Amino acid sequence: MKKLLRLFLVALFAFGTLHAAEGGDRFTLKTIDGKRLDVLGVENGISFEKYKGKVVFLEFWGTHCPPCLMSIPHYIDLQKKYKDQLAIVAVEVQGTPETMLKEFAKAKGMNYDIVPHENAPAFIEYVQARSGWEGAIPFLIILDQQGNFVTGQVGLLSEDALEGVIQTLGKMNKNEAKHPSTPSSPASDSNSSK
């Protein structure tokens, strides 16, 4: 647990924070299999309409990037294991044409959403502007179940570290559901009606 916390702190200081959105920035990303992902820039993160209630790994990657290629088996395994809790969206930023990207993803057995660069230039610029990301890949943004920014990381993370994030956020989400932060009491409700 200390190692995971240290990883979060290192990543947080290395990355900074995702600056607050001006509000209402909307994008539609089309994946290589024709799926449309509606995305909204929210105050503390990025919300994927289709994936509300799931942890989202948003990775910017390339087909010619060795660390990016090393992460693919991790993501495949994690997507299988946590399919009900996790969504992975990988935006290819090296300009591999969509037809070649489809063949690449099929050959690698990629079981998560792949968005070609040609379908996401405005979204990529938006993320760069909000995060200060300068284009080094792989670049991973982790969003919680409500789309709030958790952390960001340039470089490869181990499968164990990524799994730890999923488990930690899953526990935190369950605790929040059991203990809402602003419970209403009967006494305060009766005072408000007077």
Confidence of residue 130 (pLDDT cuts 50, 70, 90): very high
3-state secondary structure 65-92: CHHHHHHHHHHHHHHHHCCCCEEEEEEE
For residue 194, being part of any structural domain is answered with no
Identify whether 151 is part of a domain: yes
Fill in the amino acid letter for 187: A
Closest CA to 57 of 138, 175, 136, 120: 138
pLDDT, position 138: 97
In this structure, what CATH number is given to the domain that contains residue 106?
Answer: 3.40.30.10
91, 27, 30: which is closest to 56 by C-alpha? 91
pLDDT band at 177 (very low <50, low <70, confident <90, very high): low
149-158 pLDDT, tens digit per residue, is: 999 999 999 8
73 located within any domain:
yes
d(CA 100, CA 16): 34
Domain contains 90: yes
Cα distance between residue 175 and residue 76, in whole Å? 28
Domain residues for the domain of 33 are 2-177
Residue 182 domain-assigned? no
Give pLDDT, residue 15: 40
> Is the Cβ–Cβ distance between 156 and 67 less than 8 Å?
yes
Question: Is the pTM higher than 0.85?
Answer: no
Q: Would residue 172 count as lying in a domain? A: yes
192 occurs within a structural domain: no
Q: How many domains does the chain have?
A: 1
Q: Per residue in 54-98, pLDDT tens?
A: 999 999 999 999 999 999 999 999 999 999 999 999 999 999 999
